[in-house]
Amino acid sequence: MGVLTGKVAIVTGAGQGVGRCHAELLAREGASVVVNDLSDLADEVAAAINSAGGRAVACKGSVTDWSFAESLVATAIREFGDLHILVNNAGFIRDAMSFSMEEAQFDSVVSVHLKGHFAPAHFAALHWRNKAKELEGTEGGLPARRIINTTSESGLFGGPGQGNYGSAKGGIITMTTILARELSRYNVTVNCIAPRARTPMTEVNPKFAKPETGFDKYDPANISPMVAFLASDLAADINAQTFIVLGDQVHRMRPAEIAGSVSAGGKQWTVEDLAAAKGQLFGDSSSGVPAWGGPPM
C-alpha cells in the first residue's frame, strides 16, 4: 500500500519531463491519476501507468483554457469519484531579453504558467468548497486536499532573458500563498517546488547530462518523491511553502519578510530625508542587485 492509496490526482503537463515522473510516482504510491498534456503523450503515459498496474486516464487539452480546466477537474471526479491532489506543472519557455521580447512570447509564457496554474486551481477549489459544504456537520472531518505548484529558480532569483517566464514563476509563489490562505479552511494545503532536472526543456545544456557512473543528479525522477510527500497525509502541516528540489537536495525557501525599516516619525517623507535614511534602511545589507541565491550546479 502506497502513501497515496485512495487519492485522486491530476498532473498537468505530464506527457514528458518531470510531470511524467510525478504522474508515474503518484500512481505507484496508489493514487488514481489524470494525466494532462496537449498531445498524445498523455495517452502514452496513462497507458504506461495502467500497464504497470496503476490507474490513470489521459485528459488532453490546454490548461490555459478556462473551460478545459473545468473539464480536467470534472474528469477526475467522473472517472475516479473525487479529486484530492492537483499538481500544476505544465509550462514552456520562450526566452528573450527585455529589449528583444515579442508580445506573443510574453503573453504565451505568462499565460501557460500563471493562468495555467490558476485555472485548474480555481475549479479544484470550487469543487472542494462545494464538498466541504456538503460535508458540514457530518462526522469524520474534511478529506485532505493538496495543490503542488511549480515555480523555478528564475522566479525566485530573477533569471536574465526570462522577463516573461521568471515573472510568471514569481507570481506562482505569491499565488501559492494566496491559495493556501484561502483554502486552508477546506483542509487544502498549497505548496510550491522549483525543480531542476534534465528534461526536453533543459537537455540542451550539457551540465544536465547523465554521468557515465554514479548518481544521476539531474534525473527528473529525483524531483517526484518531494511531490508525492507533499501530496500525502505525512505533509499535512506543511502549507504555503516553497522548496528548490534537485538531485539529492531539498532546499526550503524563507518566506518573504521585512528586511529593514525606517519611519519619518508621523509625517510624510521628503526625498532628502529618505536619502539620509538609506544607511539605516539597508544596514549592512547591499542595496544593489542581489547575488543569485540558488544552489550550485
Ligand X SMILES: NC(=O)c1ccc[n+]([C@@H]2O[C@H](COP(=O)([O-])OP(=O)(O)OC[C@H]3O[C@@H](n4cnc5c(N)ncnc54)[C@H](O)[C@@H]3O)[C@@H](O)[C@H]2O)c1
Of 164, 199, 222, 232, the residue at the interface with ligand X (CB under 6 A) is 199
Q: How far is CA 30 from CA 3, 5, 25, 50, 103, in A?
A: 7, 4, 9, 12, 43
Q: Is 15 in the site for ligand X (CB under 6 A)?
A: yes
165 is catalytic: yes
71 is catalytic: no
Residue 47 burial (CB count, 10 A): 13
- Residue of 7, 165, 186, 224 marked active site: 165
* Interface segment toward ligand X; rule CB under 6 A; list 24-32, 57-65, 126-134, 258-266: 57-65
By Cβ distance, which residue is nearest to ligand X?
17
Between CA 133 and CA 112 the distance in angstroms is 31
Closest by Cα among 245, 228, 217 to 153: 245
169 is catalytic: yes
* Interface segment toward ligand X; rule CB under 6 A; list 73-81, 98-106, 199-207, 250-258: 199-207
- Residue of 32, 169, 218, 232 marked active site: 169
Q: Give the bridge partners for 55, in sequence order.
A: 32
Q: Which grid cell is 272?
A: 532628502
Minimum CB distance to ligand X, residue 228 (Å): 16
Amino acid identity for residue 18 in this structure = V
Minimum CB distance to ligand X, residue 280 (Å): 37
Q: Is 36 in the site for ligand X (CB under 6 A)?
A: yes
Q: Is 232 in the site for ligand X (CB under 6 A)?
A: no
Of 10, 19, 241, 244, the residue at the interface with ligand X (CB under 6 A) is 19
In the window 60-79, what residues touch ligand X (CB under 6 A)? 62-64
Minimum CB distance to ligand X, residue 169 (Å): 7
**CB-nearer residue toward ligand X: 152 or 241:** 152
Closest by Cα among 94, 95, 91, 107 to 161: 95
81 φψ region: left (φ > 0), alpha (ψ -120 to 50), beta (else): left
Of 26, 54, 84, 116, the residue at the interface with ligand X (CB under 6 A) is 116
Amino acid identity for residue 101 in this structure = M
Residues in Cβ contact with 258 at an 8 Å cutoff, skipping those fewer than 6 apart: none
Residue positions annotated with a catalytic role: 152, 165, 169
